[in-house]
Amino acid sequence: MEQYIIAARLKPGKAAEAEQMLETGPPFDPSESVLAAHAAYVTDNDVYLLFESETARTTALQLAREHPVEVSRWQAIVSGLPFRVAEVPRDARCVYQWQAAKAPR
């Protein structure tokens, strides 16, 4: 299983706005994707999106291409380009979390 975590630097004072945007969940139905898990985290300075699947990086990039309007809304509150990170910081607040239902045995 692959984890792909993308981060973006928030403009000063935009953490609350980022949390509000993330609380409603992603602009896609994760249960209709190949994702095993998806989550969003916020600190005072950054936002983190976690994608988990066998093809997490490819899936995340494809989802971004499929939802350009939603992605562009972030331009007002982030500065610079998103970047990949190895892990979500411990002090990040989980704002949204989804996990695929396990198949019954």
pLDDT of residue 101: 86
pLDDT of residue 76: 93
pLDDT of residue 2: 95
Average model confidence (pLDDT) for the chain? Answer: 94
pLDDT of residue 102: 73
As a whole number, mean pLDDT of residues 35-64 equals 96
> What domains does the chain contain, in order, with CATH numbers?
2-83 (3.30.70.100)
Mapping DSSP onto H, E and C, the string for the chain reads CEEEEEEEEECCCCHHHHHHHHHCCCCCCHHHCCCCEEEEEECCCEEEEEEEECCHHHHHHHHHHHCHHHHHHHHHCEEEEEEEECCCCCCCEEEEEEECCCCCC
Q: What is the pLDDT of residues 58-104, one digit of tens each?
A: 999 999 999 999 989 999 999 999 999 999 999 999 999 999 987 54
